[in-house]
Copies of this chain bind each other. A is one copy, B any other.
Amino acid sequence: AGNRGPLSRQVRAAAGGERVSVLKTPKVKAGSGAAPVGTGCSPALSPLTAALCLGQGTRDHPPAQAALRDRLLSAVVSCFKRHGAAAIDTPVLELRETLMGKYGEDTKLIYELQDQGGELLALRYDLTVPFARYLAMNKITNMKRYHVAKVYRRDNPATTRGRYREFYQCDFDIAGQFDPMIPDAECLKIVHEILSDLQLGDFVIKVNDRRILNGVFAVCGVPENKFIPACSTVDKLDKVPWEEVRSEMVGEKGLSPEAADRIGEYVQLHGGLDLIEQLLQDPKLSQNKLAKEGLEDMKLLFEYLTLFGITGKISFDLSLARGLDYYTGVIFEAVLLHQENEHVEEPVSVGSVAGGGRYDGLVGMFDPKGRKVPCVGVSIGIERIFSILEQRLEASGEKLRTTETQVLVATPQKHLLAARLKLISELWDAGIKAEMLYKKDPKLLKQLQYCEDTGIPLAAIVGEQELADGVVKLRDVATREEVDIPREKLVDEIRRRLEP
């Protein structure tokens, strides 16, 4: 997708005026910053320090992480805004009842609060169910929204793989009755833009449709009440070989060996428009109404994706099933093929970094009359992307700036605190990002060292001579060049120097 304006603009804004990639610059040398943070309690800690622990699977984000996360979230939000979405916010606390019966067996992972005098509350599990509740409650039938916020799952944390009990979700959804596949295509375009912009390396977006999958089950002789278990077994095909999936189908799920073999012939297929055409000619599948609808929509989707110029990264993959029960149409999932700079022979999947699909029935579950609002949405797996960027940053030895300070106000002699306070106040009032050391008489060397440690590009130095001359000595920290600037021209000169 090449250079996209808003991402770089967004990141530039987040970084305080400099045009930078999410990762590369501005940077300061490693080793100068806040300490890294433990991720939980060691059992050896004394009772005295017990309150120093964090809950399992939760973590603090020290400044370096918070800065990286902010830039990442900004880039994602920037893309969502580019596509015309409005923000909404919903409470972290939902009534327990709102969340029940939406997540299948994962319902056990919901965090429940103690009884608040008759109110049974729980922490939200995702952003999709609250969005559906919001639409139904306000009788909204047409909306394009994004929501970036934390969700909570009492899952077994796997912190090394970026799996936590408290984590961010970044969701974009389009609700409303529209002509088929136009919003669905936009969701895929969004995934493509974000993964391209973040330069995460090569990726593929797998696409399927629940209707096609259900059609396959039907024509292979699976009874309808076994569609969902069959679906969740197929979903494992990206991790285990077909033989294992087949034996689970026949063993645990009770499918006949013949049905399993027939399913196997379909779900191992993947391709593009050619495969869609081939399946539309398939004597069995083309007779199934649902499958035919799904295939025709898939063809339309590919037509739109061709106009968007992104079919190169799209794979129609019949093994894609997605875990959640509420999908009703198109489903998709983006996987990174390998990490940049890893020279591997065969591209290896490092897991899903985005996913989503169409859920036309969820809003109706919240409406007293069951009125449906068709929805399609995408969720960006920001935590996994964050882990990848963090590891990459660590490997590079670079360190992101955690502040945006442009100028340090410094003095070279003693008894000049008043001069510093006066000057820094002028800079703040002019909108310049400025700091000074909180000491009455700091050594000049210490002040300059602070600039180098924290990446401050300029120092504004006022000594007795400068005060007498009505000037300020402006020092470029990197080049060590110093120039006297008339006091009244200082703000303009700082702005000029910091222009991108």
| Shortest Cβ distance from A45 into B: residue | B368
- B residues near A62, Cβ cutoff 8 Å: 88, 138
List the 10 shortest-distance A-B pairs measured between CB atoms, nearest first. Answer: A5-B431, A178-B438, A63-B86, A84-B435, A58-B91, A61-B89, A86-B402, A66-B87, A307-B421, A84-B405
- B residues near A49, Cβ cutoff 8 Å: 368
Binary per-residue interface labels of chain A (113-127) against chain B in the complex, 1 for a CB within 8 Å, 0 otherwise = 110100101010000
- B residues near A307, Cβ cutoff 8 Å: 418, 421-422, 425
Identify which of residues 12-53 in chain A touch chain B, using a CB-to-CB cut-off of 8 Å.
13, 16, 34-35, 37-38, 46, 48-53
The stretch of A93-101, A208-216, A219-227, A342-350 in contact with B is A93-101
Residues of chain A at the chain B interface (Cβ within 8 Å): 1-2, 4-9, 13, 16, 34-35, 37-38, 46, 48-56, 58-63, 65-67, 69-70, 81-95, 97-98, 100, 111-114, 116, 119, 121, 123, 133-134, 136-140, 143-145, 150, 152, 154, 165-166, 174, 176, 178-179, 182-183, 185, 189, 193, 304, 307-309, 366, 368, 402-405, 417-418, 421-422, 425, 428-435, 438-440
| Shortest Cβ distance from A37 into B: residue | B138
- B residues near A53, Cβ cutoff 8 Å: 95, 137
Measured CB to CB, the closest approach of chain B to A91, in angstroms, equals: 4
B87 engages A4 (CB within 8 Å): no
Which of B48, B58, B89, B439 sits near A69, CB closer than 8 Å? Answer: B89
A82 engages B431 (CB within 8 Å): yes
- B residues near A425, Cβ cutoff 8 Å: 189, 307-309
The residue among A48, A53, A429 with the most chain B CB atoms within 10 A of its own CB is A429
The answer for the CA separation of A61 and B147 in the assembled complex, in Å, is 11
A119 engages B56 (CB within 8 Å): yes
A84 engages B52 (CB within 8 Å): no
A143 engages B34 (CB within 8 Å): yes
- B residues near A133, Cβ cutoff 8 Å: 51-52
- B residues near A58, Cβ cutoff 8 Å: 91, 93
A67 engages B87 (CB within 8 Å): yes
| Shortest Cβ distance from A177 into B: residue | B438
A52 engages B136 (CB within 8 Å): yes
Given contacts A83-B435, A307-B418, 11 further A-B pairs with CB under 8 A are A34-B140, A66-B86, A81-B404, A84-B403, A84-B433, A112-B114, A144-B403, A178-B438, A182-B421, A189-B425, A307-B425
A5 engages B432 (CB within 8 Å): yes
Which of B63, B433, B438 sits near A179, CB closer than 8 Å? Answer: B438
- B residues near A51, Cβ cutoff 8 Å: 95, 97-98, 100, 133, 366
B438 engages A182 (CB within 8 Å): yes
B140 engages A433 (CB within 8 Å): no
The answer for the CA separation of A144 and B430 in the assembled complex, in Å, is 21
Measured CB to CB, the closest approach of chain B to A436, in angstroms, equals: 8
- B residues near A97, Cβ cutoff 8 Å: 50-51
Measured CB to CB, the closest approach of chain B to A318, in angstroms, equals: 26
